Amino acid sequence: MTTFPLFLCFFCAIFLNGLFQQTGVDAGWTYGVNYGRIADNIPPPESVVTLLKAAKIKNIRIYDADHGVLTAFKGSGIEIVVGLGNEYLKDISVGEDRAMNWIKENVQAFLPDTHIRGIAVGNEVLGGTDVELWEVLVPAVKNVYNALYRLQLTSIVQVSSPHSEAVFANSFPPSSCIFKEDIVPVMKPLLEFFNLIGSPFFINAYPFLAYKNDPQHIDIDYALFKKNKGIFDTKTNLHYDNMFDAQVDAAYIALEKAGYPKMPVIVSETGWASHGDENEAGATLKNARTYNRNLRKKLMKKKGTPYRPKTVVRAYIFALFNENSKPGPTSERNFGLFKADGSISYNIGFTGLKPSSAAPSSLLSFKNLGFGCSYSMILTASSAVLMLILAS
Protein backbone atom coordinates (compact mmCIF):
# COMPACT_ATOMS: atom_id res chain seq x y z
CA MET A 1 0.00 0.00 0.00
CA THR A 2 1.33 3.43 -0.95
CA THR A 3 1.45 5.91 1.92
CA PHE A 4 0.89 9.61 1.26
CA PRO A 5 2.17 12.28 3.63
CA LEU A 6 -0.50 13.82 5.83
CA PHE A 7 0.47 17.32 4.69
CA LEU A 8 -0.37 16.32 1.08
CA CYS A 9 -3.88 15.30 2.09
CA PHE A 10 -4.22 18.55 3.99
CA PHE A 11 -3.04 20.52 0.95
CA CYS A 12 -5.56 18.81 -1.32
CA ALA A 13 -8.36 19.49 1.15
CA ILE A 14 -7.48 23.18 1.17
CA PHE A 15 -7.25 23.20 -2.62
CA LEU A 16 -10.66 21.61 -2.99
CA ASN A 17 -12.19 23.99 -0.49
CA GLY A 18 -10.84 26.86 -2.56
CA LEU A 19 -12.45 25.40 -5.65
CA PHE A 20 -15.75 24.95 -3.83
CA GLN A 21 -15.72 28.61 -2.88
CA GLN A 22 -14.93 29.60 -6.45
CA THR A 23 -17.83 27.58 -7.78
CA GLY A 24 -20.14 29.48 -5.46
CA VAL A 25 -20.80 33.18 -5.98
CA ASP A 26 -17.49 34.64 -7.15
CA ALA A 27 -15.92 36.48 -4.23
CA GLY A 28 -14.05 38.82 -6.58
CA TRP A 29 -17.02 40.47 -8.26
CA THR A 30 -18.29 43.91 -7.28
CA TYR A 31 -20.69 45.01 -10.04
CA GLY A 32 -23.76 43.00 -10.99
CA VAL A 33 -27.10 43.82 -12.60
CA ASN A 34 -30.72 42.83 -11.99
CA TYR A 35 -32.21 41.43 -15.19
CA GLY A 36 -35.93 42.05 -14.79
CA ARG A 37 -38.29 41.11 -17.61
CA ILE A 38 -41.68 42.65 -16.82
CA ALA A 39 -41.91 44.00 -20.34
CA ASP A 40 -43.17 42.97 -23.76
CA ASN A 41 -40.55 44.74 -25.86
CA ILE A 42 -37.08 43.90 -24.51
CA PRO A 43 -34.41 41.90 -26.39
CA PRO A 44 -34.45 38.09 -26.22
CA PRO A 45 -32.16 36.40 -23.68
CA GLU A 46 -29.65 35.42 -26.37
CA SER A 47 -29.12 39.09 -27.21
CA VAL A 48 -28.89 39.93 -23.52
CA VAL A 49 -25.94 37.54 -23.21
CA THR A 50 -24.18 39.47 -25.98
CA LEU A 51 -24.98 42.75 -24.29
CA LEU A 52 -23.67 41.64 -20.90
CA LYS A 53 -20.46 40.21 -22.33
CA ALA A 54 -19.73 43.43 -24.19
CA ALA A 55 -20.32 45.36 -20.94
CA LYS A 56 -18.10 42.88 -19.07
CA ILE A 57 -20.91 42.24 -16.58
CA LYS A 58 -20.39 38.77 -15.17
CA ASN A 59 -22.98 38.64 -12.38
CA ILE A 60 -26.75 39.01 -12.66
CA ARG A 61 -29.91 38.39 -10.69
CA ILE A 62 -33.18 37.29 -12.22
CA TYR A 63 -36.47 37.24 -10.35
CA ASP A 64 -37.53 33.75 -11.37
CA ALA A 65 -35.94 30.65 -12.90
CA ASP A 66 -37.14 31.07 -16.47
CA HIS A 67 -35.95 28.13 -18.55
CA GLY A 68 -35.54 30.22 -21.69
CA VAL A 69 -33.17 32.58 -19.89
CA LEU A 70 -31.21 29.78 -18.20
CA THR A 71 -30.83 27.97 -21.51
CA ALA A 72 -29.66 31.12 -23.30
CA PHE A 73 -26.98 31.70 -20.66
CA LYS A 74 -25.55 28.19 -21.11
CA GLY A 75 -21.80 28.40 -21.64
CA SER A 76 -21.72 32.17 -21.18
CA GLY A 77 -19.74 32.09 -17.93
CA ILE A 78 -22.11 34.68 -16.47
CA GLU A 79 -23.02 33.88 -12.87
CA ILE A 80 -26.72 33.96 -12.05
CA VAL A 81 -28.76 34.23 -8.88
CA VAL A 82 -32.23 32.88 -9.63
CA GLY A 83 -35.33 33.88 -7.74
CA LEU A 84 -37.84 31.68 -5.96
CA GLY A 85 -40.82 34.04 -5.97
CA ASN A 86 -42.96 34.93 -2.99
CA GLU A 87 -45.84 33.05 -4.57
CA TYR A 88 -43.97 29.76 -4.02
CA LEU A 89 -42.96 30.24 -0.40
CA LYS A 90 -46.00 28.71 1.27
CA ASP A 91 -45.78 25.58 -0.85
CA ILE A 92 -41.99 25.23 -0.45
CA SER A 93 -42.26 25.71 3.31
CA VAL A 94 -44.51 22.66 3.66
CA GLY A 95 -41.85 20.06 2.92
CA GLU A 96 -38.33 19.52 1.71
CA ASP A 97 -39.59 17.29 -1.11
CA ARG A 98 -41.29 20.28 -2.73
CA ALA A 99 -38.11 22.27 -2.55
CA MET A 100 -36.27 19.28 -3.99
CA ASN A 101 -38.61 19.11 -6.98
CA TRP A 102 -38.26 22.84 -7.64
CA ILE A 103 -34.47 22.71 -7.48
CA LYS A 104 -34.20 19.64 -9.69
CA GLU A 105 -36.39 21.25 -12.33
CA ASN A 106 -35.10 24.83 -12.17
CA VAL A 107 -31.51 24.62 -10.98
CA GLN A 108 -29.89 21.19 -11.21
CA ALA A 109 -31.21 20.60 -14.73
CA PHE A 110 -29.14 23.54 -16.00
CA LEU A 111 -25.92 22.87 -14.12
CA PRO A 112 -23.03 22.97 -14.71
CA ASP A 113 -23.16 24.71 -18.12
CA THR A 114 -25.37 27.53 -16.86
CA HIS A 115 -23.59 29.06 -13.89
CA ILE A 116 -26.40 29.27 -11.34
CA ARG A 117 -24.66 30.42 -8.19
CA GLY A 118 -27.50 31.41 -5.90
CA ILE A 119 -31.18 31.17 -5.06
CA ALA A 120 -32.92 34.24 -3.65
CA VAL A 121 -35.77 32.82 -1.60
CA GLY A 122 -38.54 35.40 -1.72
CA ASN A 123 -38.09 39.14 -2.18
CA GLU A 124 -38.68 41.85 0.42
CA VAL A 125 -40.86 39.53 2.51
CA LEU A 126 -40.11 40.91 5.97
CA GLY A 127 -41.42 44.40 6.49
CA GLY A 128 -44.11 43.79 3.89
CA THR A 129 -47.83 43.63 4.55
CA ASP A 130 -48.33 39.87 4.09
CA VAL A 131 -47.60 38.55 7.56
CA GLU A 132 -48.44 35.00 6.49
CA LEU A 133 -45.37 35.12 4.24
CA TRP A 134 -43.23 36.16 7.19
CA GLU A 135 -44.17 32.95 8.96
CA VAL A 136 -43.19 30.66 6.07
CA LEU A 137 -39.93 32.38 5.04
CA VAL A 138 -37.57 30.58 7.41
CA PRO A 139 -39.05 27.09 6.78
CA ALA A 140 -38.86 27.73 3.03
CA VAL A 141 -35.23 28.86 3.26
CA LYS A 142 -34.30 25.79 5.32
CA ASN A 143 -36.07 23.41 2.95
CA VAL A 144 -34.30 24.94 -0.05
CA TYR A 145 -30.92 24.65 1.61
CA ASN A 146 -31.53 21.10 2.84
CA ALA A 147 -32.57 20.04 -0.66
CA LEU A 148 -29.40 21.60 -2.08
CA TYR A 149 -27.40 19.76 0.57
CA ARG A 150 -28.94 16.42 -0.36
CA LEU A 151 -28.14 17.11 -4.00
CA GLN A 152 -24.55 18.07 -3.03
CA LEU A 153 -24.99 21.55 -4.48
CA THR A 154 -24.38 23.73 -1.41
CA SER A 155 -20.78 24.37 -2.46
CA ILE A 156 -22.03 25.76 -5.77
CA VAL A 157 -25.38 27.40 -5.05
CA GLN A 158 -25.80 29.92 -2.24
CA VAL A 159 -29.11 30.65 -0.49
CA SER A 160 -30.19 34.20 0.35
CA SER A 161 -33.29 36.38 0.79
CA PRO A 162 -33.31 40.08 -0.19
CA HIS A 163 -34.77 42.66 2.20
CA SER A 164 -35.97 46.22 1.77
CA GLU A 165 -35.08 49.13 4.05
CA ALA A 166 -38.47 48.53 5.69
CA VAL A 167 -36.85 45.91 7.96
CA PHE A 168 -35.08 48.71 9.86
CA ALA A 169 -36.64 50.78 12.63
CA ASN A 170 -34.15 53.57 12.01
CA SER A 171 -31.15 53.90 9.74
CA PHE A 172 -30.00 57.50 10.28
CA PRO A 173 -27.39 57.98 11.40
CA PRO A 174 -25.99 54.54 10.53
CA SER A 175 -24.94 53.87 14.13
CA SER A 176 -28.57 54.02 15.26
CA CYS A 177 -29.78 51.29 12.91
CA ILE A 178 -31.69 48.38 14.39
CA PHE A 179 -34.21 45.88 13.09
CA LYS A 180 -37.89 46.63 13.65
CA GLU A 181 -39.17 44.98 16.78
CA ASP A 182 -42.09 43.24 15.07
CA ILE A 183 -39.88 41.41 12.55
CA VAL A 184 -37.21 40.29 15.03
CA PRO A 185 -39.01 37.01 15.89
CA VAL A 186 -38.58 36.00 12.23
CA MET A 187 -35.39 37.88 11.36
CA LYS A 188 -33.44 36.39 14.27
CA PRO A 189 -33.85 32.71 13.28
CA LEU A 190 -33.30 33.65 9.63
CA LEU A 191 -30.00 35.34 10.44
CA GLU A 192 -29.04 32.48 12.73
CA PHE A 193 -29.50 30.03 9.88
CA PHE A 194 -27.70 32.23 7.35
CA ASN A 195 -24.84 32.61 9.79
CA LEU A 196 -24.68 28.82 10.15
CA ILE A 197 -24.50 28.18 6.40
CA GLY A 198 -22.34 31.20 5.54
CA SER A 199 -24.88 33.22 3.57
CA PRO A 200 -24.71 37.01 3.19
CA PHE A 201 -27.35 39.57 4.13
CA PHE A 202 -29.06 40.93 1.00
CA ILE A 203 -30.38 44.49 1.23
CA ASN A 204 -32.16 46.59 -1.42
CA ALA A 205 -30.68 50.05 -0.85
CA TYR A 206 -32.07 53.02 -2.79
CA PRO A 207 -30.83 56.56 -2.12
CA PHE A 208 -33.29 57.54 -4.86
CA LEU A 209 -36.27 56.40 -2.78
CA ALA A 210 -34.96 58.16 0.32
CA TYR A 211 -34.50 61.40 -1.61
CA LYS A 212 -37.83 61.08 -3.39
CA ASN A 213 -39.63 60.72 -0.07
CA ASP A 214 -37.87 63.63 1.64
CA PRO A 215 -36.27 66.04 -0.88
CA GLN A 216 -36.55 68.99 1.53
CA HIS A 217 -34.15 67.45 4.04
CA ILE A 218 -31.79 65.37 1.89
CA ASP A 219 -29.03 66.94 -0.17
CA ILE A 220 -29.33 65.62 -3.74
CA ASP A 221 -25.54 65.76 -4.09
CA TYR A 222 -25.20 63.48 -1.05
CA ALA A 223 -27.53 60.98 -2.74
CA LEU A 224 -25.69 61.18 -6.09
CA PHE A 225 -22.07 60.76 -4.89
CA LYS A 226 -21.35 64.40 -5.81
CA LYS A 227 -19.28 66.83 -3.76
CA ASN A 228 -21.12 67.78 -0.57
CA LYS A 229 -20.53 68.37 3.13
CA GLY A 230 -21.86 64.91 3.97
CA ILE A 231 -22.91 63.75 7.43
CA PHE A 232 -20.97 62.96 10.56
CA ASP A 233 -21.97 60.06 12.78
CA THR A 234 -21.00 61.19 16.26
CA LYS A 235 -21.25 57.72 17.79
CA THR A 236 -18.78 56.08 15.39
CA ASN A 237 -16.86 59.27 14.56
CA LEU A 238 -17.24 58.44 10.89
CA HIS A 239 -17.91 60.85 8.05
CA TYR A 240 -20.13 59.89 5.12
CA ASP A 241 -19.97 61.74 1.82
CA ASN A 242 -22.66 59.63 0.14
CA MET A 243 -25.91 57.98 1.20
CA PHE A 244 -25.13 54.61 -0.40
CA ASP A 245 -22.25 53.97 2.01
CA ALA A 246 -24.40 55.11 4.91
CA GLN A 247 -27.17 52.67 3.96
CA VAL A 248 -24.73 49.76 3.66
CA ASP A 249 -23.11 50.57 7.01
CA ALA A 250 -26.52 50.89 8.65
CA ALA A 251 -27.15 47.27 7.63
CA TYR A 252 -23.78 46.19 9.04
CA ILE A 253 -24.51 47.91 12.34
CA ALA A 254 -28.01 46.41 12.61
CA LEU A 255 -26.50 42.97 12.03
CA GLU A 256 -23.84 43.64 14.64
CA LYS A 257 -26.43 44.68 17.22
CA ALA A 258 -28.42 41.53 16.40
CA GLY A 259 -25.34 39.40 17.14
CA TYR A 260 -23.91 38.82 13.65
CA PRO A 261 -20.91 41.13 13.25
CA LYS A 262 -19.18 38.97 10.66
CA MET A 263 -22.09 38.52 8.26
CA PRO A 264 -21.30 40.13 4.89
CA VAL A 265 -23.74 42.57 3.31
CA ILE A 266 -24.51 42.52 -0.41
CA VAL A 267 -26.67 45.18 -2.02
CA SER A 268 -29.18 43.12 -3.97
CA GLU A 269 -30.78 46.18 -5.61
CA THR A 270 -29.85 49.81 -6.07
CA GLY A 271 -30.54 52.26 -8.85
CA TRP A 272 -32.03 55.58 -9.92
CA ALA A 273 -35.06 56.25 -12.11
CA SER A 274 -34.49 58.33 -15.25
CA HIS A 275 -38.11 59.47 -15.45
CA GLY A 276 -41.02 59.76 -13.04
CA ASP A 277 -44.28 61.40 -12.18
CA GLU A 278 -44.47 65.06 -11.19
CA ASN A 279 -44.41 64.14 -7.50
CA GLU A 280 -41.34 61.90 -7.85
CA ALA A 281 -38.53 64.23 -6.93
CA GLY A 282 -35.16 63.58 -8.54
CA ALA A 283 -36.37 61.17 -11.21
CA THR A 284 -34.49 62.65 -14.15
CA LEU A 285 -32.19 61.26 -16.80
CA LYS A 286 -29.34 63.50 -15.62
CA ASN A 287 -29.61 62.25 -12.03
CA ALA A 288 -29.90 58.61 -13.12
CA ARG A 289 -26.78 58.95 -15.23
CA THR A 290 -24.89 60.68 -12.42
CA TYR A 291 -25.85 58.11 -9.79
CA ASN A 292 -25.14 55.05 -11.91
CA ARG A 293 -21.92 56.44 -13.36
CA ASN A 294 -20.55 57.38 -9.94
CA LEU A 295 -21.72 54.12 -8.36
CA ARG A 296 -20.03 52.12 -11.09
CA LYS A 297 -16.77 54.01 -10.53
CA LYS A 298 -17.03 53.37 -6.82
CA LEU A 299 -17.66 49.64 -7.18
CA MET A 300 -14.86 49.21 -9.70
CA LYS A 301 -12.40 50.49 -7.08
CA LYS A 302 -13.21 47.40 -4.96
CA LYS A 303 -13.12 49.26 -1.67
CA GLY A 304 -15.16 49.18 1.49
CA THR A 305 -17.31 51.58 3.48
CA PRO A 306 -16.33 53.86 6.38
CA TYR A 307 -17.48 51.27 8.92
CA ARG A 308 -16.16 48.26 7.00
CA PRO A 309 -13.17 49.69 5.07
CA LYS A 310 -11.61 46.28 4.43
CA THR A 311 -14.81 44.62 3.19
CA VAL A 312 -15.34 45.20 -0.53
CA VAL A 313 -18.78 46.56 -1.42
CA ARG A 314 -20.78 44.45 -3.87
CA ALA A 315 -24.01 45.48 -5.52
CA TYR A 316 -26.52 44.47 -8.18
CA ILE A 317 -27.79 47.50 -10.12
CA PHE A 318 -31.48 47.84 -10.77
CA ALA A 319 -32.05 47.37 -13.59
CA LEU A 320 -30.80 46.16 -16.93
CA PHE A 321 -33.83 47.41 -18.93
CA ASN A 322 -36.71 49.80 -18.67
CA GLU A 323 -39.70 47.51 -18.08
CA ASN A 324 -42.84 48.88 -19.70
CA SER A 325 -45.27 46.44 -18.08
CA LYS A 326 -44.41 47.14 -14.43
CA PRO A 327 -47.27 48.56 -12.38
CA GLY A 328 -47.01 51.56 -10.11
CA PRO A 329 -45.64 55.07 -10.61
CA THR A 330 -43.79 56.06 -13.78
CA SER A 331 -40.40 55.65 -12.10
CA GLU A 332 -40.96 51.89 -11.81
CA ARG A 333 -40.77 51.60 -15.58
CA ASN A 334 -37.64 53.74 -15.97
CA PHE A 335 -34.78 52.26 -13.96
CA GLY A 336 -33.05 50.64 -16.95
CA LEU A 337 -29.45 51.15 -17.92
CA PHE A 338 -30.70 50.16 -21.38
CA LYS A 339 -33.83 50.93 -23.33
CA ALA A 340 -36.15 48.21 -24.57
CA ASP A 341 -34.47 48.18 -28.01
CA GLY A 342 -31.08 47.45 -26.45
CA SER A 343 -29.65 50.95 -26.85
CA ILE A 344 -28.22 52.71 -23.80
CA SER A 345 -30.55 54.88 -21.73
CA TYR A 346 -27.63 57.22 -21.01
CA ASN A 347 -23.88 56.98 -21.25
CA ILE A 348 -22.01 55.55 -18.28
CA GLY A 349 -19.49 53.64 -20.38
CA PHE A 350 -21.53 50.74 -21.75
CA THR A 351 -22.22 49.89 -25.39
CA GLY A 352 -25.75 49.07 -26.51
CA LEU A 353 -27.05 46.53 -29.00
CA LYS A 354 -27.76 49.40 -31.41
CA PRO A 355 -26.75 53.06 -31.74
CA SER A 356 -28.45 55.41 -29.29
CA SER A 357 -29.18 59.11 -29.31
CA ALA A 358 -27.93 59.17 -25.70
CA ALA A 359 -24.31 58.98 -26.84
CA PRO A 360 -22.17 57.64 -29.71
CA SER A 361 -22.32 53.87 -29.61
CA SER A 362 -21.08 51.15 -31.89
CA LEU A 363 -23.36 48.30 -32.94
CA LEU A 364 -22.51 44.94 -31.42
CA SER A 365 -22.44 41.70 -33.36
CA PHE A 366 -24.25 38.68 -31.95
CA LYS A 367 -21.40 36.21 -32.38
CA ASN A 368 -19.93 34.39 -29.42
CA LEU A 369 -17.76 36.75 -27.40
CA GLY A 370 -16.04 34.04 -25.37
CA PHE A 371 -16.80 31.54 -22.66
CA GLY A 372 -16.23 31.75 -18.95
CA CYS A 373 -14.16 29.19 -17.13
CA SER A 374 -15.97 26.01 -16.07
CA TYR A 375 -14.90 24.50 -12.77
CA SER A 376 -16.76 21.22 -13.06
CA MET A 377 -13.99 19.26 -14.81
CA ILE A 378 -11.31 20.63 -12.46
CA LEU A 379 -13.47 19.89 -9.43
CA THR A 380 -14.20 16.35 -10.56
CA ALA A 381 -10.54 15.60 -11.26
CA SER A 382 -9.36 17.11 -7.98
CA SER A 383 -12.00 15.21 -6.03
CA ALA A 384 -10.81 11.97 -7.64
CA VAL A 385 -7.21 12.72 -6.67
CA LEU A 386 -8.19 13.31 -3.05
CA MET A 387 -10.27 10.12 -2.96
CA LEU A 388 -7.33 8.11 -4.31
CA ILE A 389 -5.03 9.62 -1.69
CA LEU A 390 -7.43 8.87 1.15
CA ALA A 391 -8.09 5.33 -0.12
CA SER A 392 -4.37 4.50 -0.38
- Active-site amino acid positions: 124, 269
How many whole angstroms separate alpha carbon 283 and alpha carbon 299?
22
How many whole angstroms separate alpha carbon 284 and alpha carbon 228?
20
How many whole angstroms separate alpha carbon 179 and alpha carbon 170?
8
How many whole angstroms separate alpha carbon 383 and alpha carbon 386?
5
Indicate if the alpha-carbon torsion angle 235, 241, 243, 246 is positive or negative. negative
Which residues, including other chains, have CB under 8 Å from residue 291's CB and lie 6 or more apart? 207, 208, 223, 224, 225, 271, 272
CB 211 within 8 A of CB 282: yes
Which residues, including other chains, have CB under 8 Å from residue 288's CB and lie 6 or more apart? 271, 272, 273, 274, 334, 335, 345, 346
CA distances to 8, 88, 383, 388 from 4, in Å: 7, 49, 16, 10
Pairing state between β 238-240 and 231-233: antiparallel
How many whole angstroms separate alpha carbon 27 and alpha carbon 58?
12
How many whole angstroms separate alpha carbon 268 and alpha carbon 161?
9
